[in-house]
A = this chain, B = another copy of it.
Amino acid sequence: MIMYANYIPTVCMEEKKTMARNKYPEETLNQILTVSLNLFMEKGYEHTSIQDIINGLGGLTKGAVYHHFKSKEEILQAVIGRLNQGVDEVYASIRDDKSLNGHEKLRKIFRVSLNDHSKPEMTSTIPNLLDNPRMLAALLRNITEESVPKYIQPIIEHGLADGSIKTDYPKELSEVLMLMGNLWLNPLVFSDTTENALRKCRFLQQVLLGLGFDLLDDQMIERCGQLFRVYNEKA
């Protein structure tokens, strides 16, 4: 549920005086990505036109956009890439933390997934990802092709080696964990009430206990409740 956390909703970029060329082009590039991400989240990728993006920029034109990106699709990929990069760094640091065993790493992954979400103050309403198919697909793809094979599964296999995790199905467990945590418990996908979210957490806790894992404690569940409370307040 960490994904799509680090984006800043609808804060308009300050307009620059028209200059023919920016000395620091990566500012422009970042601005395009930021504006695009906000629009993609608010209106959805397919309902965001290039003109919408241009309007969100400070006086820049289509030429600028197509100088940095060769298509709208490429903008999307870059936006997704930046989102994933943020998650990747967090996951990687946990995976490579020598001071934790596998089980502790898994818990930490869960914990930060809940924390990292609380920071952005949501000014605008964020529509459900079910109405934003491209972003939804990107989320699922990131889970299956990045998070699981690069981080979760290695962590679980490390846990198998150090004895802190026991399972005959490391890959399957990884996938299910991520599907539960990042899809089923994602307020952007399942816009549950706080109460429903808490029930989900407790059910997940029970499922994991049935598999012999004590991953979710009451504090983490309460944190999840808070997360949903924040999300539901701005509705």
Chain A positions near chain B (C-beta within 8 angstroms): 46, 130-131, 133-134, 136-137, 140-141, 144, 168-169, 171-173, 175-176, 179-180, 183-184, 189-190, 196, 199-200, 202-204, 206-207, 210-211
Using CB atoms, name the residue of chain B closest to A196: B171
Chain B residues with CB under 8 Å of A196's CB are 171
**Minimum CB–CB distance for A76 against chain B, Å:** 11
Can you list the 3 inter-chain pairs with the closest CB atoms, starting with the nearest? A210-B210, A133-B133, A172-B203
**Minimum CB–CB distance for A189 against chain B, Å:** 8
**Minimum CB–CB distance for A193 against chain B, Å:** 12
Return 5 A-B CB contacts under 8 Å, by A number. A133-B133, A168-B203, A207-B207, A207-B210, A210-B210
**Minimum CB–CB distance for A221 against chain B, Å:** 13
Chain B residues with CB under 8 Å of A169's CB are 199, 202-203, 206
Work out how many copies of this chain go into the complex: 2
**Minimum CB–CB distance for A218 against chain B, Å:** 16
Interface pair A133/B130, CB less than 8 Å apart: no
Q: Secondary structure at chain A's binding surface: helix, strand, loop or mixed?
A: helix
**Minimum CB–CB distance for A152 against chain B, Å:** 14
Using CB atoms, name the residue of chain B closest to A210: B210
Residue in B46, B131, B199 whose beta carbon sits within 8 Å of that of A172 in the complex: B199
A180 to B144, CA, bound (A): 14
Chain B residues with CB under 8 Å of A141's CB are 130
Chain B residues with CB under 8 Å of A130's CB are 137, 140-141, 144
A136 to B131, CA, bound (A): 11
Interface pair B176/A207, CB less than 8 Å apart: yes
Residue in B140, B172, B199, B210 whose beta carbon sits within 8 Å of that of A211 in the complex: B210
Interface pair B190/A180, CB less than 8 Å apart: no
A199 to B206, CA, bound (A): 22
Q: Taking each of A133, A134, A190, A207, which has the highest tally of chain B beta carbons within 10 Å of its own beta carbon?
A: A133
